[in-house]
A and B are shown apart, each in its own frame.
Chain A
């Protein structure tokens, strides 16, 4: 039976504010940004993309590599942390790790950039500690304020987020399967890789894709650590607007990074669909 007219109207009225908010504050600006990428002085053009690729192709590649590499390292670390929290045998170590690993979650990216900027410099805290510890001589030190600095910042900040999701998923895995494997003599590493990981794979993928998208949009870290060339696309977008007032190329670069994140999401969706079909 269809609900009466008044109820349907009420439902519509309830949805309307949310719908309008999305249309007004998300779809409209996105649409304007997309159309802006294809327009120059009001005419349709591809020149914004031409310029984007001409000037920033190495930055596009750089961004993809940095975000991809960071995602990989974050995944490995998150699985290790989650694995130890689930399978660890020393209760004290597990408690300490559980307490410690979440801290970076609460620290904004800009602060991470600020901390690492002095920590990773050639004569910064890290190298000074290594020198004081006799591990390096002053002449051997190098600055990490380049692509490595960005990767370190991203990994440090995003690992807890993914680890939190993964550890939660691992905790809900049926302990019986783990105990059974242990009884049959499987090592903890093997249990992690062959029993735990396949069961939390979806959660891990979601966490990593969300991290990838987040990292693609961070401006403060590349600005604080490495705004030279090559640099992340976000720094280029900011520069196009601040230095030239050129929203066309900035929009084009934005669309390019949107395509990259959409690519990551598509890979995940296809995989998820295949999983469901099985």
Chain B
């Protein structure tokens, strides 16, 4: 009897699963980012890893959300382990995190690490982040237009400038104080017409002398503004497009498709990504250097960046561009979904004309120069 009891106890102990862990995922961005983890990724991960649970925490939209994550990591620098296992941050904040050795070099340890070959996984606004990040998705800005009013959309910034001159008030953008699609248009303008090298702006190093090469570009932008309409915000541009008040304007691609899917934009509207390019930005999965559950965290990121999840979750559900290479995702998607995302802006366009934002000091310098020379 005693032996039987012992045997049962032993058996029981052996069949117990590994101690259940709670994986904490902390994410910057809008509520949809938290929903994405809670409703989609989390349940999938929990199914594959019975007993473990995923907890998602949002830190709020925009750069401010990522800034909070950075400060949270800094505060825990001296601890033995962080309260976070996986974080999703804007690329601008990966550099500062690396500088303080807050992140783990993990990309080559996970099976999906090879699926991203683009530069965005190596450089983040001038900082070498190779190995420390896996891109969750990329968002891109492009020019949306109404084909009824613009049968032959301009393909370059120079053509946009000419078109706007010929059609006063028909090009609308939201300046630099109403959201990032307008900021992106301005950055693209400097890439196109600034006298410096756009590559320096994107990769650094920062030099004061570069900032004096934009006078002509800004003067022409001021002139451009006289024939353009200024819209109230990212959504404002889409609103005015849908009401037919403007015929063309810069928008976030994912927002454009989501609005179209919701019926807030006519189905016929199209996108074009003009040369020499407009900025977009990825959001990255990072794992803190002292994550409490490093193995689970890697498993989680591997799942999140697998072609299937990138296809289903990132492309199909949210109209974002995949974080890993697009051709790896294509096999997982039906033709219709794929076409929806890539029919206007082809993967080749994206590779050629999808640019990063300038590194932070140039970014700020361009914004302030705009305030001084264009808005004043």
Chain A residues at the B interface, C-beta cutoff of 8 Å: 54-55, 57-58, 117-118, 121-124, 143, 145, 223-231, 235-236, 239, 242-244
Contact = CB atoms under 8 A, between A and B. Distances in A.
B372 interface: yes
Contacts of A223: 178, 232-233
Given A55-B368, A124-B243, A244-B364, A235 B177 contact: yes
A230 B177 CA distance: 11
A55 B376 contact: yes
Given A121-B240, A244-B364, A244-B368, A229 B175 contact: yes
A118 B243 CA distance: 10
17 contacts: A54-B372, A57-B376, A58-B376, A121-B239, A121-B240, A122-B243, A123-B244, A123-B245, A143-B229, A225-B232, A227-B177, A227-B233, A228-B230, A229-B230, A229-B374, A239-B177, A243-B176
A237 to B, nearest CB: 11
A244 B367 CA distance: 9
Contacts of A54: 372, 376
B59 interface: no
Main secondary structure, interface of A, reads: helix
B35 interface: no
Contacts of A122: 240, 243, 245
Nearest to A149: B232
Interface residues of B, number: 26
A223 B175 CA distance: 12
Nearest to A123: B243
B174 interface: yes
Contacts of B177: 227-228, 231, 235-236, 239, 243
B221 to A, nearest CB: 12
B76 to A, nearest CB: 22
Contacts of A224: 232-233
Contacts of B64: 242
Nearest to B243: A123
A229 B232 contact: no
Contact of A229 (B233, B244, B367, B376): B376
A169 B64 CA distance: 47
Contacts of A143: 229, 245
Contacts of B147: none
Nearest to B62: A242
A55 B232 CA distance: 20
B371 interface: yes
Contacts of A235: 177
Contacts of B176: 239, 243
